[in-house]
Structure 1
């Protein structure tokens, strides 16, 4: 039988524990710095937890499954610190016949906008505690962009950048700044972000999509179509680029 999945932001450690305790496979997106690697984004599958020792257990594509396949361990504090670099994003996989239980566990997080608001408020509190917290400002921007508050989102992304503390790969993984700057009419800022990604990882399809959006907004439809095609060349399943390209030819 098929399964479904839900992606939300603004998760909490308690929510992760409730999900795994009820048998819901849960993936989180976190920061990682493995030996020999610079800062990267990384997905991990949560398989258990231990309140006595304050540990989560994960199956990890890089580190493996741990002793006796029980999972590799990470402290609650370390998990939350690494997780917040990605606005505490989590993905829950579930069978449709368990949706009612999942809705009950997620509560407000079931609603995408409510989850974004929760994430925004958490980030706002962190920024108030430490105004130089780049991740807090970035998460505020990402959450505000999800809520359609693009001018405020753009200002938060500006603040995150001004700290000088964002990892150089940040825009590889998270694209709320592209959306916010575009919606705010700050096209040159979108192109600047795109140029950074183009120079460091030209295969990122989102980079070409957002460049295409700017070209289209500026009336350069041929350049836009070329950018959308390039995005689709890297990811033929990228629906946003496909729809944008199709709309140009109508």
Structure 2
């Protein structure tokens, strides 16, 4: 009798153990990422739902091939009137820029989990005498701690709310970064971060100096520490994934000095046209080798995506959709739409609602808290007559980002139309 009782107890314990093992993956997946981050790697693997490494290819391709027609109207250049010869003034010598330069007076800060945007911005603000840390910037920039993205434009708006100036530009280059640093403007760049072929994600870096002899930039990196160096070629390859976007914080009285460095890129249309031409040229002439990518073939994929980003910003949505199609056909990393949303906007604008929904579904299958994906899927669903699905998506976007104006406006428009 006693033996039977022990057997029953053992069976009960084994059943409980089995239930616990079955429940373990469910409980681990339910943990917020900021807590699961501290679990051992084998347990973290239980959180990952299987999904493709690339976003889905286009459902239908009915947009024209991108031709990148320049939209600027040429102006007539008058024939100069002959003038009598005059004495030629001696040219003023241009000072040779220093081969090495590093800004000082910044405060480095190591980021918390998934917090590189707020932390990098706080480091940039420290140069201008501000005391904000990531614990001040993050609640304003990403009310949901699990949010995977803070855009440069959200950071720009936050800085302006502090009474400082800020401007986001695209199509930068290495000489522009060096000129900004020499002029006293530490610069935030949005870059790719490649751990391996599958594990790639966005990462902000703060450029504070350069060394032409070593061909390296000096950065404040929220992940790796202060005075972290990165080679010119590596930084440029990682930066171009985001159309070489950069954010400059400045004191309002220094706008004229900054505008001189930015030159014609102060004008949005001029800037995006030039960035578009760069992306087109890079798509057509990829390098023989790369230093930053898991596969150098990604160079062309990212070129087409950046071309699409510039075309979206120029309002040329049919051409943008064609450029994004090319990138998707080549294999676009599944995390691209965690950070960049041009494909949603352009596909929606040309009526390709199925593509918007397919991309949002695939992106949200990799992580749930991306308000932008819910928003654009909601707009596409509404255009297809699915008002209930649209409302649910807008509500979910607001659950992850309270009072987020695009979703608030979308719901208000639905209410007014009822």
TM-score by length of 2: 0.56
Q: Tell me by how many angstroms 1:36 deviates.
A: 11
Deviations 1:45-89 (A, max 9, x none): 111111121110111111111xxxxx1000111110111111101
Matched, 1:18 2:179: yes
1:168-207 → structure 2 map (5 Å cutoff): 168-207=334-373
Residue 214 of structure 2 is aligned with which of 53, 56, 59? 53
Q: Tell me by how many angstroms 1:34 deviates.
A: 4.2
Aligned to 2:145: none
CA distance in 1, matches of 2:195, 2:329: 27
Q: Give ranges in structure 1 of 5+ residues lacking alignment.
A: 66-70
Q: 1:26 to 1:237 in 2, by over 3 A?
A: farther
RMSD: 1.9
Deviations 1:155-196 (A, max 9, x none): 1111111112x2221121111111111011000000000001
More strand by share: 1
CA contact (8 A) 2:334 2:363 kept: no
Secondary structure of the residue aligned to 1:249 is helix
Aligned to 2:388: 222
Q: 1:43 to 1:82 in 2, by over 3 A?
A: same
CA distance in 1, matches of 2:402, 2:275: 31
Matched, 1:28 2:195: no
Secondary structure of the residue aligned to 1:7 is strand
When structure 1 is superposed on structure 2, of 204-213 and 91-100 the one drifting more is: 91-100
CA distance in 1, matches of 2:373, 2:238: 25
Aligned to 1:3: 164
Q: Tell me by how many angstroms 1:239 deviates.
A: 2.2
CA distance in 1, matches of 2:214, 2:208: 15
Secondary structure of the residue aligned to 2:217 is strand
Q: Give ranges in structure 2 of 5+ residues lacking alignment.
A: 1-161, 288-296
CA distance in 2, matches of 1:247, 1:101: 43
Aligned to 2:62: none
Q: Tell me by how many angstroms 1:237 deviates.
A: 4.8
Q: 1:206 to 1:151 in 2, by over 3 A?
A: same
CA distance in 1, matches of 2:403, 2:245: 22
Q: Which has the higher contact order (CA 8 A, sep 6+)?
A: 2
Q: 1:206 to 1:109 in 2, by over 3 A?
A: same
CA contact (8 A) 1:25 1:94 kept: no
Computing the radius of gyration over CA atoms, which structure comes out larger, 1 or 2? 2
CA distance in 1, matches of 2:387, 2:257: 47
Aligned to 1:167: 333
CA distance in 2, matches of 1:234, 1:54: 42
CA contact (8 A) 1:9 1:119 kept: yes
Aligned to 1:68: none
Q: 1:37 to 1:72 in 2, by over 3 A?
A: farther
Q: 1:98 to 1:155 in 2, by over 3 A?
A: same
CA contact (8 A) 2:378 2:393 kept: yes
CA distance in 2, matches of 1:228, 1:5: 30
Q: How many residues align?
A: 244
Deviations 1:4-50 (A, max 9, x none): 21112111111111111111131001111248981111001111111
Matched, 1:232 2:398: yes
Q: Tell me by how many angstroms 1:216 deviates.
A: 2.2
Secondary structure of the residue aligned to 2:208 is strand
Matched, 1:156 2:323: yes
